[in-house]
Structure formats: structure tokens, C-alpha cells
Structure 1
Amino acid sequence: MERKYPESLVADIKKKQEVVMVDDVKVIVKNIPDCDIKGAADPRLYKEMKKMALISNFIPKSAFKMDASPKSLARLRKMFNSIDSYPMVKEEIEITEEKITANDGYDIPMYCFKTKTPMENSPILYFIHGGGFFAGSVDVVTEALKLFVVKTNMIAFSIDYRLAPENPYPIGHEDCYAGLNWIYENADRHGGDATNIFVAGDSAGGNLTQYCTNRALEDDTKMVKGQMLLYPTVNMGGVKDEHVNYNKDKFDIYPKHAKVINMSLDMMVGATEGLGDFLGTKDLMNKYLTPYMDVSPNLPPTFLTVGEHDFLKVETLAYARKLKFAGVDTKTVVYKGLGHAYIDKVGYYPQSEDCIQEIIDFILKYKG
């Protein structure tokens, strides 16, 4: 494998991690492997964001507005659809495309990832990409999925669900649940174990993951063995309580890095509440779009991860607290020095590789 960082940094992340309590919840904190400054951005991220901060000085603030207008949508899609990973996996990975039938008859692309020597009766990772429900694709997370399968010889699936606003809510959500049902019904044909399906997703994909798990519970199935929510969108309705209330005081920010950290935090404040415009609905206060409002004690084991400087950190940690106090077996990991969307940066950030290993360890712990 090739990386844009020394492999030793991945081991250093493990060595330097610690456990802290946040609002009565145990959180594993993954410190920056090669920087000990409190509140600092990871040096790899800082280098990247510093360039953006300089460019932003010459761009009007209106250009960063996040709305569903055609001009804004085109700009956001260009940004969210970029491939930001480094091709670190050199082994040959078999990627096959299937078409699954949606409720309305639409053919949804589903991709299966395998090595040349896949595990027999393999646990299955079903990964749902993020992108604000209106952007992103399987291509964005392909390198992460390649890394997962090459490290484990397990099988992974990922779906190119239909995007808003052209396909308003709940079309994309229902596509993803149709994908889960299809994997359950076709697992054996692909060499997988239908009793060991783990659903995962990042950002909006985390919301879609929780939707799939909630729907599986409602339908009284045992399809989801565990779920992994990477910096998930769980409070689109903007529920306010003492734990989920967004406040800059809840972030450690190193003064010398404040400009680049605040740039990403300020740009996204309120962004999740505005997703209804993209989704074509004003009904954000339901447990599918705002799962924070209604947590079932019957949810399967859950893994949550978020970056220290992610605008979704507050609601992610609040959600972890809700899960814990509902009795759900929950593991929470915070990556110091990172913001949003680090699973997309496989090959560039050692933390991205560590996150893939956390996903692997979670599956190995809870598979039957």
C-alpha cells in the first residue's frame, strides 16, 4: 500500500488515544499523532485549509451560501463530488454493479466490492455515502471501501441512491432501505452472511443509515447486526436541549489556527436545518430526519465517530449520550484536529486509515 504519510503515524494514533468522559458518556479521543497542541488542526488538514482561507479573502461571502438554488446546487455538487482520496490500495479489487428495483420501479445502482479471495460466508458492510442528500456518489468512498475489503477479505456494498432536490424526500431514504432489503435477500449469492449485515454511512449517509436501522426495527426484521454513524446528521429539525445546543465554547480552538477552523465551523452553522429545502419537505421534526428526537432502546450496537472541529460534533456527542441512556451498546470516537468528511481522505490522513480499522474492529466484535 502507498500513503501520503508515514505508516508509523497510524500506530501512533493508537498509542496516544485516551478515554475521557463527556456529559457522563465514555468517549475515546484519538489525538493527533504528530502534534500535541491543544485545539490545533491536524497539520495535514491545516496545510490544505490554509490555502482555502487565503482564497476566501478574495471571494464574497455570498459565494459560500448553501441553498437549493440552481447556481448554489451546481457549486456544492462540484465540491462534494470531488474525489479526495489517494489510491493507496494496489491490490486488484473486484467491483461489480447490480441494479436493484426501487418501490417505484426505478433501477438503483448497487456496487459490490470483493478481493480475489473473499472470506466465505462473509460479514457484510453496507456503506451509504454522504453529500447532504443532494450530492456525493459511491466514487467518493470507493478508496475507503477498497481499503476495508483488502484489510479483511470481507464483502462491502454501496448504493448510488437518488439525490435531492430532483428526487425529494423520502425517495433517497427509501432507495437506501430497498438496498438493505436487497442485500439481505441476495447475500448468499454474493458469498455473504445475511445474519451479519452492518450498515454504515457518513454525514447525510449517517442519517440514511439510521433510517435503514429504524425501518428494519419497525418491520420487525433482524437485518441490521450493527450500525456505524460517521459524523452523522441526526438533528435536522433543530431540537434544542442542554446537550445538543450548538455553542462555540464547546470547541477547543488553537488561536494560531483559529481562522481556518472557524472558517469551516461558521460556514456550516445552520446548514443541517436548511437541508429541508433540498429535500423538498418542511417536516423535519420526525424520527427519520431528526433521529435525535426518538431513540429506541432496541437499536443494535452503534459506533459513532466525529472530528474535534466538525460542526456536527455537538449533535453527534449528544446523540451518543441519548443512545447510551437508552441502553444501546455504543462506542464513540472523536478525532482531534479534524473537521468533517475524513473518510473521504483515505491515503492522505492517517486518521482515515485508523477509522477504517475501527469499523473493522467493530464488525469483528459484534458479528455472530
Structure 2
Amino acid sequence: MPLDLPKLNSLGLPKPVSQTRVVVAMSGGVDSSVVAAQLAEEGYDVIGVTLQLYDHGAALAKKGACCAGLDIHDARRVAETMGFPHYVLDYENVFREAVIDEFAESYLGGATPVPCIRCNERVKFKDLLQTAKDLDADCMATGHYIQRKMGAQGPELHSAADANRDQSYFLFSTTPEQLDYLRFPLGHLSSKAETRALAAKYGLSVADKPDSQDICFVPNGNYASVIEKLRPGAAEPGEIVDTDGKVLGTHNGVLHYTVGQRRGLGIGGLVDPLYVVKLDVDAKRVIVGPKELLSTRIVPVREINWLGDEPFDSRSEWTVSVKVRSTRPPREAILRPLSATEAEVELITPEEGVSPGQACVFYDPDSTRILGGGWIWRGH
């Protein structure tokens, strides 16, 4: 007779709900609050954890960015409402070293950094995940819009059901080991309205709280003021030059420009529009050129995290879809491994504004599965 296998609970674990401990990463926003409330209502042994990542002084009273003082207060209120313990962990030093310093370096290197990915990779899914294990939790749940599905080889990462909320671009560096332990209870919802309706159902004070738009440590989206504090030299004036080095004008600090920018260059009397094609921080130069210089077909990628079933370098090429920015739809591409962690991506249709410091995320063209991704590291 076949043995009776233990029944799996809603988190896919072979234990009674009441004996299953879940650490929920709570930012104070509506998404993670709903996850914590839902699991608590289902009867799980929930522990809420909020990370204090930075202290702006001013940011403590600012709404619209996660992990500031108000958000800690909001997370605590949700825990009180639903009756589960809540802890605040001070991760300021870790966050500064693992995320903020690299953000400044990357930005000034002419890149367009995506610090939320590094935060997930180096703080939330590393240190916080270890804390969850130290608390004897069976798994860790977050409010990210992404799906974890069981496949033939184990857990797989899939895009969220709601394409408008999908956060797969920010989670490509999740490793198979982390995926084993993580849960994303909101990934199957069809809209944000469903999440807010659940928050209202549980009587949560954050039900109508606006979504965070900014990078959490960049108040009001003002990159320049943050970079200026971290790297004072980047605010010094310099020259705007063309690709031959001819001086076309002056600027008041490299940090005020981004690759691909057209407006606000302050160069008059030109027949054809010019775009920022490169930033040279050491020479304090902003280099401009015609739009076609922004068009990229071959994208070098490194630090690859691979989530496919076969080893990454077991094939000479993979047919994939890729995203080179979070706001763009996946595009057809050929992925050619150079090693286990480096590759060349050939975009079938060239893209503009492909920038070092951005992520390049790989998708299975025939399903919703995320096959991994890496970091774009230099322009051609």
C-alpha cells in the first residue's frame, strides 16, 4: 500500500498551518501588510520584520518611500491589529555598504543603477532571510508581485498574473536556494485593486496608502542631492563635448545628466538633436552625439544568476526574451554564454538607451517563466 503523504498547506509545506512559522518582510506598505494579515488570519505562526535601512531625518516624516519612520509605524499597527509579533531590525550599515555606496559609484560611472535589485539580493534575501532561519521560520513571505510555481526540477520563478504590477525584473537574482525558502502570496492576484480590497477586509489602516514611487533613500526622486552628499566632486562644473571632443558648452555637474537624455543640455543652434551618449566623471565631461549612437544590438552581461533547468553554459546559445529596463516589455534575443556567469545578448531588434548598471533579465519566450538575468556592464 502506498504511504499516506502529509498534506501540503497553502504555502506548500507538509505541516499543519498552526505549526508553520512564517517571517513576513513588512515594508509598511499595503502589499506586505496584506500578506502578513492574510497568513495570520489563515492561522499561520506569523512574525513581522521591518528593516530600518537609512535615516534621512526628513525622510522619517515622508510618505511614498518604503522603510522610513512612518512606514515602520504602519507595519507595527498592522501587526497589532492582526495580533502577531513585529520586530524592527537596524540594517543601516549593511544597506549603506551593500546598496547606497554602489548606487553612487554606478550612477557616476554613467550607469543608471537599479538599487532595488541589489537591496533584494544583498539585504532582504540574504541577511533578512538568514534572520528568518535563525527565528526557526519554515519560510519567508514578501509582498512582491511575482509567482513561485513548482516545476519538474523544483520551484520556478514566474511573472505575476498582473503584468502591470510584475516585479520579476527586480527579482532575477533570486537563487534556487532562496526560492526554495521564499513565498510570494500576491503573485496570482489579477490587480492591485484586489490587494486593497483585502486590506480593507482585514481592517488595515494602510488600505488606501499610496504606492511608493521613489527609490527609498532618494526623497522626491531627487538623485542629484543624494549623489552630491555621497560624492561631492560630481557636482563640479565641466564641459559638454561631442564624440570628437569638440567643446559645445558647459554643465554644472555630471550628476545632473543621464545617458539617453536629450532635453536640458543647454546647447542651442543645432540642426540635429543631440543626446547624452556617455558620462566621463573623471574628466567632468558630458559627451553628446546623434540618436543612432544610443542604439544597441549586442549587450555584454555578467554576474549572471541562472534559473533554467539545464546548466547555463551547456548550450552555445539560448533563444530568450529579455528586458533591459523595468518599464519595457520583453524583446526577442539570443543569449550566448561566455562562461557560467558571463554572456553576450544579441537583441533581434536594436534598443535605445541600453545602459551599463541596468539589469538584463531573461524570460522563457514560450511561458511566464524567468530564466535569470545579469548586469549590463559596458556599452559598445
TM-score (norm 2): 0.25
Structure showing greater Rg: 2
> Which structure shows the bigger proportion of residues in helix conformation?
1
TM-score (norm 1): 0.25
